[in-house]
Amino acid sequence: MNRLTVITLSVLAVILIVAGYFSVHLFQSSLSRSQRLVAWLNKPIEHADWSIKANDRCPGAPFYLPTSGYVGFLWGDQFKLNHKHQGIDIFAGTASGITPVFSVFDGYLTRQIGWKSSIIIRIPKDPLYPHRQIWVYYTHMADKNGNSYISDPFVPGTNDLFVPAGTLLGYQGNYSGDSGNPTGVHLHLSIVLSDVNGRYLNELDISNTLDPSPYFGMPLNSLMNDGDIVQCNSQ
């Protein structure tokens, strides 16, 4: 075996070890959050200090908080092999259709035809990097059968309608696309990049989304959070 082959194999071994470490780390962090989430959903009143509050804003952060509840899953959490969570999940701890959802920043709202539980808001100038445009995607705002909780002004087909920060967008729901398998009542939010033509990229691919931590002033990146309760960075 020549020296080049030995070096190559050594590098590959290191890469595999590092990849394995981060995979285990992500899985263990997700598991820890899952266990705490179960406790929250069972007795939210007993764990009120775990929750965030809609329309609060962490010191120095550009975005307001979109809804109230427990931040159960983070950007980058790994639930299955080769699939990382593209945003954050905030669980109300209430029944479906009760907990309101608000816009986090001024922007232009679109709701595509056929979208029962989702809207997306275009922010022409990223408050952290004004040279680029970003989008904020909100979903699960419908009951398990797809009956929408999105606010009446935002009918399907709404396109690029200006909404200021703090606008009521709808209410947390549990729509999954399969009435027989509803999600827990929560809001999923992700920050999505634009393509070269200014359209939003596919939110299902984490590489098309941004770490929401600096936008909310919270440790929302799973690599930077070992299962701790999410609060403002200054707390």
pLDDT tens profile 35-50: 888 888 898 889 899 9
Residue 188 backbone phi and psi in degrees, to 5: -100, 130
Domains of the chain: 3-224 (2.70.70.10)
pTM (whole model) above 0.75: yes
Q: What is the pLDDT of residues 108-145, one digit of tens each?
A: 999 999 999 999 999 999 999 999 999 999 999 999 99
What residues have CB less than 8 Å from 22, skipping those under 6 apart? 223
Q: Could you tell me whether strands 78-80 and 100-102 are parallel, antiparallel, or unpaired per DSSP bridges?
A: unpaired
C-beta atoms surrounding 128 within 10 Å: 13
Please name the helix (run of DSSP H) or strand (run of DSSP E) that holds residue 22, with its range, or none: helix 3-42
Out of 15-24, 77-86, 162-171, which region has the weakest mean confidence (pLDDT)?
15-24
- Between β-strands 186-193 and 134-139, what pairing exists: parallel, antiparallel or unpaired? antiparallel
- Gap between the Cα atoms of 128 and 106, Å rounded: 14
- 117, with CB counted inside 10 A (0-12, 13-18, 19+), is buried
Residue 208 clears pLDDT 50, i.e. is over it: yes
Instruction: Reply yes or no on whether the pLDDT at 26 is more than 80.
Output: no
* Residue 180 pLDDT grade (very low, low, confident, very high; cuts 50, 70, 90): confident
Residue type, 231: Q
